A and B are shown apart, each in its own frame.
Chain A
Amino acid sequence: MIELFLNKLILGIQLGGVYALVAVGYTIVYGVLQFINFAHGDVYMVGAFMGMFVVKGFSEGSISSPVAMVVVLGMILIVAFFVSMRGHWKDPKGAAVRLVGFAVAFALIGTLVKLFLKGGVLLFKPITALAATNVIIGGIVALTVAVAWCAGLGVLIERTAYKPVRGTGRLTALITAIGVSLLIENGGQAVFGSDIHAYSLKDLPGGKQLLTGTLDLNLVGITLSVSKGQLIVLLATTALVLALTYIVRYTKFGKAMRAVAFDRDAAALMGINTDTIIAFTFLLGSGLAGAAGFLNFGLTGYTFDTNTGIMFGLKAFVAAVLGGIGNLYGAVLGGLVLGLAEMFVGGSPFSPYRDAIAFIILIAILLFRPSGLLGKNTVEKV
């Protein structure tokens, strides 16, 4: 009985950690812009896909699908796109041009991914061969590619879609975010297809030993069996959340971020380039969403498709609201509470309502404590 409880506890924390990783992205962006990035869940979905391309590219053995390299190529394209746009961001009529540019870049990269998936390029043979020999190297490459790609995607979205409409009202920003979300979901479907996918690091050499089975922990006579894959997810999310907390609290960027979040004009008067800090905030948040997407699917083998980000994103958003939107620790706490709630409801007679829990929590929090668990109603001194 107690074992069962502890097991659920660990699983809940693990799931909660993944929610937290996505929830912090909502919360830090809200912190600097007072804006809900509704496309954030879709970035998480892209992370799952990017991880898959790398892992499948490696595990299929043949160098016929060196997708990881294609993905990197895509990133280079995005960077090139950025460089070409330098100095033109302020041009108001350029908004349309930018969006077209974004679409073209996206389609181009997508086509390339498709092409390389089917064909083959020998150029990358040695690099792929090395990474494909070991699950740890492969896993790190997959994580890095997922994080880098999503971080780049986040900045791209901010610069091309959100920045041009900044300052034109909340409703405009909200509608833009929904538009971006639809663009990624449907654009993703056009590029990646509408199939349901699953992949696992187990498919890489050495993966079975590393990830199959459970780890038995003996605690004062109670034996806890934790799935190895889930334990790794738990450790990785913890490390990433700690790293983010460190960046926000102690680095120069983090301090600037907090200043921008508190008072953007005052921050600008300190010599802080607020546009850069906002882009950096998207970079951090989206990178973590990418990591979450890869971790939650690449290590568990759960299935996903291009719409996976919708529900998960909404739940992570609920986690952020639950903790107090704008509050970093709140997002972590909210994620954990939601993960635990889902896990325990999942094993109870109420299990059919597992997915509804998040929204019951949302309604409750909006009714009884709209500022969230850790959110405070700040009193401004005049």
Chain B
Amino acid sequence: MLEITDLHIYYGAIRALEGVTLRVDKGEIVTMIGANGAGKTTTIRSISGLVKPKTGTITFEGKPIHKMPPHEILKLGVGQSPEGRRVFANMTVHENLELGAYTILSDRKRVKQGIERAFHLFPRLKERETQLAGTLSGGEQQMLAIGRALMSGPRLLLLDEPSLGLAPFLVQTIFKIIREINQEQGVTVLLVEQNANQALKIASRGYVLETGRVIMEDTASSLLTNAEVRKAYLGE
């Protein structure tokens, strides 16, 4: 479904990615783990078209997308919940969800269904529907960011550190819902996480990034038992 080949990305003179190659198949949850600054966010942003690679290719369902602008990539069926959530703090929960459905806004029925689906996944959001997003707690903002990313009906969902800064019980909830989105709604997920333990538990495969390179790739269960991974990313 998604194929990244030998991706090199620079920020000015700073090298962020040095040849990342990875693949996500339809129906999978794939996770990308790695320390701060490894290049996970850069990879996610390049898939969405927010940063452009110097060399390398990204294809989605066979179509090269690395030269497309973000709004066109979204229309192909790629949604993203960005690092730091980035909800529109000065707008209500409802307006945020509506913006998530920006490309299908004229189809009132689909928008309504989407909002209902989001409220079904995150009942907390329904209670807060008319509240400004900036007044939500961190966990609620994360729910909103995910709900908003689902509004356009993506087939591939990119999640950048959805558990960052959340209380432990909320982390559990978020991971449970990610699995639900994958299994019940059939959305393929590429999940970036610092919380490697949790991420590897719900993923089928995983990639380990270090200073802009993939240093390991395997099934999630093998990575979970890999001594090196356990030492470096699971705090043992």
Closest to B133 in A: A381
Structural contact, B165 and A271, CB atoms closer than 8 A:
no
- Please report the C-alpha to C-alpha distance between residue A367 and residue B48 in the assembled complex, in whole angstroms: 43
Query: What is the distance, in angstroms, from A10's C-beta to the closest C-beta of chain B?
Result: 35
Query: What is the distance, in angstroms, from A227's C-beta to the closest C-beta of chain B?
Result: 41
Binds B, one of A77-85, A197-205, A256-264: A256-264
Closest to B51 in A: A265
Partner of B138, one of A258, A263, A268, A381: A381
Q: Using Cβ atoms and an 8 Å threshold, which residues of chain A touch B84?
A: 382
Q: Using Cβ atoms and an 8 Å threshold, which residues of chain A touch B99?
A: 255-256, 259, 267, 270, 272
> Does A266 have its Cβ within 8 Å of any Cβ on chain B?
yes
> Does A273 have its Cβ within 8 Å of any Cβ on chain B?
yes
> Does A118 have its Cβ within 8 Å of any Cβ on chain B?
no
Q: Using Cβ atoms and an 8 Å threshold, which residues of chain B touch A381?
A: 89, 134, 138, 141
- Please report the C-alpha to C-alpha distance between residue A271 and residue B86 in the assembled complex, in whole angstroms: 15
Cβ proximity bits A363-382 to B, threshold 8 Å, 1 near / 0 not = 00000000000000010111
> Does A252 have its Cβ within 8 Å of any Cβ on chain B?
yes
> Does A196 have its Cβ within 8 Å of any Cβ on chain B?
no
> Does B103 have its Cβ within 8 Å of any Cβ on chain A?
yes
> Does A269 have its Cβ within 8 Å of any Cβ on chain B?
yes
- Please report the C-alpha to C-alpha distance between residue A142 and residue B176 in the assembled complex, in whole angstroms: 62
> Does B173 have its Cβ within 8 Å of any Cβ on chain A?
no
Q: Using Cβ atoms and an 8 Å threshold, which residues of chain B touch A268?
A: 48-50, 69-71
> Does B8 have its Cβ within 8 Å of any Cβ on chain A?
no
- Which residues in chain B, 39-90, are within 8 Å of chain A measured between CB atoms? 48-50, 69-71, 74-75, 79-80, 82, 84, 86-90
Query: What is the distance, in angstroms, from A166's C-beta to the closest C-beta of chain B?
Result: 14
- Please report the C-alpha to C-alpha distance between residue A262 and residue B86 in the assembled complex, in whole angstroms: 10
Structural contact, A271 and B74, CB atoms closer than 8 A:
yes
Structural contact, A272 and B71, CB atoms closer than 8 A:
yes
- Please report the C-alpha to C-alpha distance between residue A269 and residue B157 in the assembled complex, in whole angstroms: 12
Structural contact, B71 and A259, CB atoms closer than 8 A:
no
- Which residues in chain A, 220-273, are within 8 Å of chain B measured between CB atoms? 252, 255-256, 258-259, 262-263, 265-273
Residue pairs across A and B with CB atoms within 8 Å: the count is 75
Q: Using Cβ atoms and an 8 Å threshold, which residues of chain B touch A259?
A: 88, 91, 99
Partner of B103, one of A255, A267, A271, A382: A271
Closest to B67 in A: A90
Q: Using Cβ atoms and an 8 Å threshold, which residues of chain A touch B70?
A: 265, 268-269, 271, 274
Structural contact, A269 and B88, CB atoms closer than 8 A:
no
Structural contact, A269 and B90, CB atoms closer than 8 A:
no
Closest to B79 in A: A269
Whether A272 touches B50, Cβ cut-off 8 Å, given contacts A259-B88, A381-B138, is no
Whether A272 touches B134, Cβ cut-off 8 Å, given contacts A258-B90, A263-B88, A382-B165, is no
Query: What is the distance, in angstroms, from A371's C-beta to the closest C-beta of chain B?
Result: 15
Q: Using Cβ atoms and an 8 Å threshold, which residues of chain B touch A262?
A: 88-91
Q: Using Cβ atoms and an 8 Å threshold, which residues of chain A touch B80?
A: 269
Whether A269 touches B48, Cβ cut-off 8 Å, given contacts A255-B98, A259-B99, A263-B86, is yes
Q: Using Cβ atoms and an 8 Å threshold, which residues of chain A touch B105?
A: 252
Closest to A265 in B: B50
Structural contact, B141 and A258, CB atoms closer than 8 A:
no
Cβ proximity bits A62-96 to B, threshold 8 Å, 1 near / 0 not = 00000000000000000000000000000000000
- Please report the C-alpha to C-alpha distance between residue A270 and residue B74 in the assembled complex, in whole angstroms: 7
Structural contact, B69 and A270, CB atoms closer than 8 A:
no
Q: Using Cβ atoms and an 8 Å threshold, which residues of chain B touch A378?
A: 89-90
Query: What is the distance, in angstroms, from A276's C-beta to the closest C-beta of chain B?
Result: 9
> Does B152 have its Cβ within 8 Å of any Cβ on chain A?
yes
Structural contact, A265 and B71, CB atoms closer than 8 A:
no
Closest to B86 in A: A266
Partner of A273, one of B71, B89, B91, B141: B71
Query: What is the distance, in angstroms, from A49's C-beta to the closest C-beta of chain B?
Result: 36
Closest to B48 in A: A269
Closest to A268 in B: B70
Structural contact, B102 and A270, CB atoms closer than 8 A:
yes
Query: What is the distance, in angstroms, from B53's C-beta to the closest C-beta of chain A?
Result: 15
- Please report the C-alpha to C-alpha distance between residue A273 and residue B98 in the assembled complex, in whole angstroms: 16
Q: Using Cβ atoms and an 8 Å threshold, which residues of chain A touch B90?
A: 258, 262, 378
- Please report the C-alpha to C-alpha distance between residue A252 and residue B103 in the assembled complex, in whole angstroms: 10
> Does B100 have its Cβ within 8 Å of any Cβ on chain A?
yes
- Please report the C-alpha to C-alpha distance between residue A258 and residue B89 in the assembled complex, in whole angstroms: 11
Structural contact, B82 and A269, CB atoms closer than 8 A:
yes
**Beyond A262-B88, A271-B74, A271-B75, 14 extra complex contacts between A and B, CB < 8 Å:** A252-B105, A258-B88, A259-B99, A262-B90, A266-B86, A268-B71, A269-B50, A270-B99, A270-B102, A271-B103, A378-B90, A381-B89, A381-B134, A381-B141
Give the top 7 A-B pairs by smallest Cβ distance, nearest first. Answer: A271-B103, A268-B70, A271-B74, A266-B86, A273-B71, A270-B102, A270-B99
Identify the A interface with B (CB < 8 A): 252, 255-256, 258-259, 262-263, 265-275, 378, 380-382
20 A-B residue pairings within 8 Å (CB atoms)? A256-B99, A258-B88, A259-B99, A262-B89, A265-B70, A265-B82, A268-B69, A269-B48, A269-B50, A270-B103, A271-B70, A271-B74, A272-B71, A272-B102, A378-B89, A378-B90, A380-B89, A381-B134, A381-B138, A382-B165
